[in-house]
Amino acid sequence: MKSSELRGKDKTALTEEVKSLQKAHFNLRMQKATQQLNNTSQLSVTRRSIARAKTILAEKLATTKE
């Protein structure tokens, strides 16, 4: 998901997005461990997506506290 799409979401939607991405990343790690994952680049894509979503969530929380 692009950062512009993430910036349009509110805090609760971003939190849910992070949770779903973490769940997807966990499932990919399990597939890799059981030799079922064909495209290993998906791991880095989901990891970066999680970081992107967490960064935007932190920005939104910081602007709320000020």
Q: Domains for the chain: give ranges and CATH numbers.
A: 3-61 (1.10.287)
The pLDDT of residue 2 is 86
pLDDT band at 66 (very low <50, low <70, confident <90, very high): low
Interior angle at CA 13, CA 55 and CA 17, nearest 5: 60
Distance CA 34, CA 16 (A): 27
**pTM for this prediction:** 0.89
Residues 4-30, mean pLDDT to the nearest whole number: 95
User: How far is residue 64 from each of residues 7, 26, 55, 57, 61, measured CA to CA in Å?
Assistant: 14, 31, 14, 11, 5
Residue 32, C-beta contacts closer than 8 angstroms, at least 6 positions apart: 40, 43
